[in-house]
Structure 1
């Protein structure tokens, strides 16, 4: 019987550890999407856990990145932490959570782009997939802006997405794409930083 209990404890410990390792492997945006999904299912404890993990992951990313929006990301991590008690008690509305997640997604995308821009041409060339993914994050969250800011950003995102697609080309074509996209991406980072 003792052997059985010890085996059970070992298995449960291993499961808890692997669940934590799995959560640590998830991106900030995946953890926050999980919080939104659990909120729609009414899983308050799950939302609170996802927000805890998401805010920690956001702090970690902000502190390890070289982007211009580090302080804003840390501020958003604080905002997410302040939502945890509301989530635990079921008082966090899906609208408030959705807006917080959208703002974080935009800042994460803009900060990752800013980090790549900081490396110059070498940060852009060959990184079309990463940049496109981050532009997608910004677009996904942009609905919270509204008005002229949102339409300006949508226009910039469209132009940048086209330019970025040429960054995987070699030679002069790639360099021309880097020059064009560098200005557009810089404008997007500035716009997101000033809007949030």
Structure 2
């Protein structure tokens, strides 16, 4: 199971998938955040013939919005801005999209209006959207349910490298974590609601 929240035995770890799969040319790796996205992505995957497609099925409580996903997944690497703000962007991939929204809710209590993005594609980046975010934002946080090194967030950081945009990647260390508690492991790596909110407040005050 591809997630920090999957099996936690050292011989059955599922959080190395993003660096591994996204290194394969032409492969499309999709990261749904709810049931409707999963259904639409599956429909796309089985009826197209241009790419091998993998789907990172959400773990934990299966969320349903009740609204059909009409995204055209044949247009690759198009992200969706689901919440408009300024100064800071929260890119929450797959399972961690909901965490990004929780962070945005907490920041709003502090008078900080964050932009939230649902990337949907773990195998690429939306360069046009990322470029446009430079106009009203100075900080980007990427949140992914897996290892940071070689992960999706580092692709975002690489894109912004030549610019003034500050990027912080959230995930876990590339190690063989064994018999761990997922919540504690994430906290040890700085990935909790409280830690991310504190980081955002600190970096925006600099």
Q: State the TM-score, normalizing by the size of structure 1.
A: 0.30
Higher strand share: 2
- RCO higher in structure (CA 8 A, sep ≥6): 2
Higher helix share: 1
Q: Which has the larger radius of gyration?
A: 1
